Amino acid sequence: MKILMVYPETPDTFWGFKNAVKFISKKASEPPLGLITVAAMLPPVWEIKLIDMNVSPLKDNDIKWADYVFLSGMIVQYKSFKEVIKRCNVIGTKIIAGGPLATTEYKGILGVDHFILNEAEITLPQFLTDLENGNPKFIYTTNEYPSINLTPIPRYELLEMKKYATMDIQYSRGCPYDCEFCSITWLNGRKPRVKSTKQFLSELDYLYNLKWRGEIMIVDDNFIGNKRILKNELLPSLIKWNREKKYPFKFITEASINLADDKELSDMMIEAGFSTVFVGIETTNEDSLIECGKKQNTRRSLNESIDKLHDSGFIVSGGFILGFDNDTQNSFEQMINFIQKTGIVTAMVGLLNAPSGTKLFNRLKSEKRILENFTGNNMDGSINFIPIMPYQQLINGYVKVIKTIYAQEQYYNRIKVFLKNYKLPNWHSNKISKTDLKAFLKLIWKLGLNENGKIYFWKLVVVSLFKYPQKFSLAMTLAVYGFHFRKIAALL
In this structure, the answer to whether residues 74 and 161 fall within a common structural domain is: no
Q: Which residues constitute the domain of residue 76? A: 2-140
Torsion 201-206-209-213 (CA) sign? negative
Q: Give the DSSP letter string of 141-166.
A: --S----STTPPPP-GGGS-GGGBSE
Q: Please list the residues that pair with 385 across neighbouring strands.
A: 370
In this structure, the answer to whether residues 250 and 363 fall within a common structural domain is: yes
Question: What's the full length of the chain, in residues?
Answer: 492
In this structure, the answer to whether residues 129 and 168 fall within a common structural domain is: no
Chain-centroid distance of CA 17 in Å reads 11
3-class DSSP state of 292: coil
In this structure, the answer to whether residues 417 and 440 fall within a common structural domain is: no
* Overall domain count for the chain: 3
- 379 in a domain, yes or no? yes
- 148 in a domain, yes or no? no
51: region left, alpha or beta (phi > 0 left; psi from -120 to 50 alpha): beta
Which residue stretches of the chain have pLDDT < 70? 15, 373-379
Amino acid at 361: F
Q: Among the residues of 281-329, which ranges form H helices?
A: 286-291, 302-312
Residue range 278-325, pLDDT digits in tens: 999 999 999 999 999 999 999 899 999 999 999 999 999 999 999 999
- 272 in a domain, yes or no? yes
In this structure, the answer to whether residues 280 and 400 fall within a common structural domain is: yes
372, 391, 421 — which closes off a domain? 421
- 147 in a domain, yes or no? no
| Strand pairing report for 249-254 and 214-218 | parallel
C-alpha–C-alpha distance, residues 444 and 421, integer Å: 26
- 427 in a domain, yes or no? no
Q: Give the DSSP letter string of 173-228.
A: E--S---TT-SHHHHH-SS-EE--HHHHHHHHHHHHHTT--EEEEE--S-TTSSHH
Give the pLDDT confidence score for residue 439 in this predicted structure. 85
In this structure, the answer to whether residues 74 and 118 fall within a common structural domain is: yes
Residue range 197-244, pLDDT digits in tens: 999 999 999 999 999 999 999 999 999 999 999 999 999 999 999 999
Q: Give the domain CATH number at 16.
A: 3.40.50.280
Give the pLDDT confidence score for residue 385 in this predicted structure. 95
Measured from the Cβ of residue 253, the count of other Cβ atoms closer than 10 Å reads 22
Torsion 205-206-209-212 (CA) sign? negative
Tell me the C-alpha to C-alpha distance, in Å, between residue 209 and each of 45, 205, 248, 481: 23, 6, 11, 30
Query: Of 320, 384, 375, whose CA–CA distance to 346 is shortest?
Result: 320
399, 421, 443 — which closes off a domain? 421
- 428 in a domain, yes or no? no
> Is 69 in contact with 6 (CB distance < 8 Å)?
yes
C-alpha–C-alpha distance, residues 183 and 176, integer Å: 13
3-class DSSP state of 169: strand
In this structure, the answer to whether residues 389 and 454 fall within a common structural domain is: no
Strands (E), 65-133: 68-72, 94-98, 114-116
C-alpha–C-alpha distance, residues 377 and 390, integer Å: 21
In this structure, the answer to whether residues 112 and 32 fall within a common structural domain is: yes
282: region left, alpha or beta (phi > 0 left; psi from -120 to 50 alpha): left
C-alpha–C-alpha distance, residues 174 and 86, integer Å: 33
In this structure, the answer to whether residues 179 and 117 fall within a common structural domain is: no
In this structure, the answer to whether residues 202 and 125 fall within a common structural domain is: no
In this structure, the answer to whether residues 263 and 328 fall within a common structural domain is: yes
C-alpha–C-alpha distance, residues 110 and 85, integer Å: 8
> Is 3 in contact with 46 (CB distance < 8 Å)?
yes
- 23 in a domain, yes or no? yes
421, 454, 476 — which closes off a domain? 421
pTM listed for this prediction? 0.94
In this structure, the answer to whether residues 377 and 470 fall within a common structural domain is: no
Torsion 197-198-204-207 (CA) sign? negative
- 373 in a domain, yes or no? yes
Q: Give the domain CATH number at 165.
A: 3.80.30.20
For 320, phi and psi rounded to 5 degrees? -130, 150
Torsion 175-176-179-185 (CA) sign? positive
> Is 216 in contact with 167 (CB distance < 8 Å)?
yes
Q: Give the DSSP letter string of 401-431.
A: HHHHHTSHHHHHHHHHHHHHH----TT----
